[in-house]
A and B are shown apart, each in its own frame.
Chain A
């Protein structure tokens, strides 16, 4: 935990510096007759982030914050495995949307999670993952008229559009 604390503070400090540089693309000072420039607010807030990171680092050095004293591991094997399986699953889900759209990716993700991570029966898995895209379609595409991306499955939906619109 102690090492993770200082690495995170360091990374966040780098992010702050990047944001400060990026903000200074616009005027960061006060323009006569116009008030503060467009970069003023984000620049000084990023500076605030940097100061916080330095402060966190000082606390780390003096061992005054709980994570800087903790000897626990930041990410144990369970946590890491879970992050890879769950976080990876969600990432793959979003990636799949680009190819097979929401209505293809939703059942694939639900089957992966409920059947393979949750180890529930196929009956339970299918009872949830098959109606899910239907309900989503009726709610978003039909009721709210928010058309979700369909990827390469778009042609399959043409008859449905004809039916509903």
Chain B
């Protein structure tokens, strides 16, 4: 009952006029960002974070969360009408959304996506409200070794479940953590890694410099290089009557929606996973249990509903560890977590005790933003489709300008703007060789939190690393982390053995 009281308070905070405006603006921007190929929630949140210094932290967070939400809805628009995903989270939506559009039922696909997204978001919000407070309660007892073990687990999931090249993932994590150590060492007060004695490094490398570099500049160059400016568009015929009948028809996808809503949420909680694998997995599972699996890939309603419910649900799921444990569940929430540090909030379970207004205002906004996103999405589908015609040669320079102005605003130092350019181009060049970039962003956000925890733990244990294994909570977490790190190795050995068996047989 206490939770319901908090939730009601939170809704009131979210319904303040400023916050309503920010939510409406946020979901509309998010829908656009999600729909634009080359831009996803992570890009939008990274580039627009500096713009939120104007409003108080709670409102800033509500705005950015609304963008995150909106982008999950928006991704479907281009997946269906253009046949290319507007964001990686909507990849699975192209599988059935595009064939449906080619059959002349783009309206049905778009409405199904919107309705499934809404249901997915709502289920996730309910799960979030039920799980977050008890989890935060448990986490309040965590000491330094437990928190460090959790961070280790976050990085281990990238290695074990990320699906990218393992040494490259490891490299990405390590370089992110090393970049986070540049500046003054907070424990000894000594300057550290001041390259070429340039004073600009003394204040450290702000995570936004890396995040905007990668997701603003690097991503734009990547998109220009990979799309080469060739897109074709399917028109969607829409009217109020058609939308209403499509809503009725979309109910046929209820099974996909249900699977996506629940599976997406739990996959979203895992640090490495987030909304993209969540939606792909939900698509796969729905196809497996469906009565008509042969329709998948040819325009199945369930096939559109499952990934769309899942990506919305996963985006809320990713917020769960971010708010309760201070461990982000996705690249976008990593940036939100970094934002919380800039706003002077200490991420972690104490938020639920010390910053109840912030936490519950945000949770309340999830419900309202989700509703707004549905309405704005259904009402303005034609407008978003029209905006998709905006040529990339107009959008890209605007993103570059926003990135550079935003990057400057974050630290107000031209040194960081140059650094951002270097990171952006570097990330693009490395990404061409399959180096994953998300782990580096997660690492630069978590690095400044992880290092003091490690050093304090080792100080406490006189340098004995066994402290992570012997304590009751950090022990099992560390063991799971180690298993995850070893998982690819185990798989490799099993494959080798299997191969040997087949050659012998």
Question: Chain A interface (Cβ within 8 Å of chain B)?
Answer: 1, 4-5, 8, 12, 19, 22-23, 25-26, 30, 34-42, 45-46, 48-49, 51-53, 55-56, 59, 65-67, 74-75, 78-79, 82-83, 86-87, 90-91, 93-94, 97-98, 102, 106, 109-110, 113-114, 117-120, 124, 128, 132, 136, 139-140, 143-144, 146, 148-149
Contact = CB atoms under 8 A, between A and B. Distances in A.
Contact of A48 (B165, B174, B432): B174
A48 B485 CA distance: 14
B54 A143 contact: yes
Interface residues of B, number: 61
Nearest to B400: A90
Nearest to A41: B451
A75 to B, nearest CB: 8
Contact of A35 (B181, B185, B418, B458): B458
Given A66-B434, A113-B393, A52 B192 contact: no
Given A83-B221, A114-B394, 14 more contacts: A8-B430, A22-B195, A26-B188, A36-B458, A45-B181, A48-B173, A51-B170, A52-B167, A52-B174, A118-B397, A120-B393, A132-B401, A148-B405, A149-B414
Contacts, number: 177
A53 B305 CA distance: 42
A52 B168 contact: yes
A39 B391 CA distance: 49
B267 interface: no
Interface in B454-501: 454-456, 458-460, 463
A46 to B, nearest CB: 6
B221 A128 contact: no
B400 A93 contact: yes
A148 B188 CA distance: 34
Interface string B191-203: 0110100000000
A42 to B, nearest CB: 4
Interface of A is mostly: helix
A91 B220 CA distance: 14
B54 A144 contact: yes
Given A97-B414, A102-B408, A35 B400 contact: no
8 closest cross-chain pairs (CB), A and B = A118-B393, A35-B459, A113-B397, A55-B167, A52-B171, A38-B185, A48-B174, A30-B463
Contacts of A148: 405, 408-409
B141 interface: no
A118 B396 CA distance: 10
Contact of B418 (A52, A94, A144): A94
Given A38-B192, A53-B171, A114-B393, A146 B400 contact: no
A42 B405 contact: no
Contact of B433 (A22, A39, A40, A67): A67
A139 B405 CA distance: 11
A102 B451 CA distance: 37
A130 B90 CA distance: 35
Interface in B432-460: 432-434, 451, 454-456, 458-460
Interface string B73-108: 000000000000000000000000000000000000
Nearest to A52: B171
B393 A56 contact: no
Contacts of B432: 4, 74-75
Contact of A120 (B192, B220, B391): B391
18 contacts: A4-B432, A22-B195, A23-B181, A41-B181, A41-B455, A48-B170, A51-B167, A65-B165, A66-B165, A86-B224, A86-B396, A87-B221, A94-B418, A106-B405, A119-B393, A128-B398, A140-B409, A148-B409
